[in-house]
Amino acid sequence: MPKPRRTRIVEVAKAAGVSPTTVSHALNGRGHVSVETRARVMAVAEQLSYRPSRAARTLRTATTETIALILPEFETTAGVGVKTITLDNYMQLIRSTSLTAFKRGYRLLLAPRADSPAAVADLGVDGAIICDPLESDSQLDFFAEARIPVVTYERPVHRPDFRWHVGADNADVVRRLLDHLIAAGGTRTAMVLPDLPSPTVAECRQAYLEWCAKHRAPPILEVVADPEGPEAQQRIAELLRGDNPPDAIVDGVPPSALDACNSVGLRVPDDVLVAAFFDSPDTRESDPAITAIDLNPTAVGESAVDLLADLIEGREPDGPIFVPAPMYVRGSTQR
């Protein structure tokens, strides 16, 4: 049993009684083809289950109908960022990106970070989605040099003019959490953030400080170096046992704050209110469940692919895209 040979355009042409040119025109909506001819060609193509060869098309048009997704810190340990914008979020993001890409007619390549413009060109993609474009790596430069459109899942802080990022409006998210904690009865709200060189973290920190200034509240900012280990919980516990402890916490490394409250014998929500920066199985299944923001990875993935497709296909879209991020109010902030 040989490998089934695919139908070629000449076969469609013969079956439809026209030239390959006309088949190509009809199928791609180019040139002038009479309505009847086009209909006939499409019917025949369908009937023979014709699928144009991507390789031939690529060779001719230098277009690959493929985009790359470049995950953060792909070649290092799982460590950085992985717990922060939790695994669950990433999985949904990946899933949504892949699904949307295929729906839009693109294939999704899962690529390691490139180490040169040549490596980027060698990927053979029409565009790319880059997670966590940090200043320290040069993905953005490489893709720019290779003239390949790029969309990012975080704002590249070192590129203030870069418009093609997609995600939640982090500053707004922080403000909403803070406002919610006040409304829920908090009077001194702390913020816990991981010590990562990520734009998201920077935005959260700044939004928090600005909010404190505006509300004339003293900032209580706890930055933890290792959000994976027990450090976060310990630091928060110390904070809670110290002078003038917070009675509300925005947790950027959930569920550390809840664990810390438990460990020092403080009740949530009675003694301390806790809200998480992002939703995850941990915030949903803890006791009490933790109020959290849904960073909406599914919508982020969809929007990113849409934006990238617009860029690739020359539609001059608007950017950046801020995806709606609903707050799930749960037991941890309901007295």
| DSSP classification of residue 32 | -
Select the span of 104-112, 150-158, 212-220, 265-273 touching a second copy (CB under 8 A).
Answer: 104-112
- Per rule CB under 8 A, is residue 315 in the interface with a second copy? no
Q: Which does 8 bind (CB under 5 to 8 A by kind): a second copy, DNA, none?
A: DNA
The label of the residue with tokens 């409250």 reads 261
For the record, the structure tokens of 131 come out as: 């997670």
Listed residue (182, 103, 160, 166) closest to 132, CA to CA? 166
How many Å apart are CA 133 and CA 130, to the nearest integer? 6
Least distance (Å) between residue 211 CB and DNA: 52
> Three-state SS for 298?
helix
Residue type, 191: M
> Which stretches within 5-136 are classed as H helix?
9-16, 20-28, 35-47, 54-61, 87-103, 117-123
How many Å apart are CA 52 and CA 61, to the nearest integer? 13
Which residue from 4, 29, 314, 324 is in contact with a second copy, where contact means CB under 8 A? Answer: 4
Show the site string, 126-155: x = touches a second copy by CB under 8 A, - = not: -------------------xxx--------
Select the span of 119-127, 196-204, 218-226, 309-317 touching a second copy (CB under 8 A).
Answer: 119-127
Listed residue (303, 281, 277) closest to 200, CA to CA? 277
Select the span of 61-69, 166-174, 234-242, 266-274 touching a second copy (CB under 8 A).
Answer: 61-69
Show the site string, 199-238: x = touches a second copy by CB under 8 A, - = not: -----------------------------xxx--------
Which residue from 27, 99, 171, 327 is in contact with a second copy, where contact means CB under 8 A? Answer: 99
Listed residue (277, 273, 254, 279) closest to 331, CA to CA? 273
Least distance (Å) between residue 310 CB and DNA: 19
For the record, the structure tokens of 253 come out as: 């490394």
Note the residues at the interface with a second copy (CB under 8 A).
Answer: 1-4, 6, 49, 51, 53-56, 58-59, 64, 66, 69, 71, 74-75, 78, 82-83, 87-88, 90-92, 94-95, 98-99, 102, 107-112, 117-118, 121-124, 145-147, 228-230, 281, 285
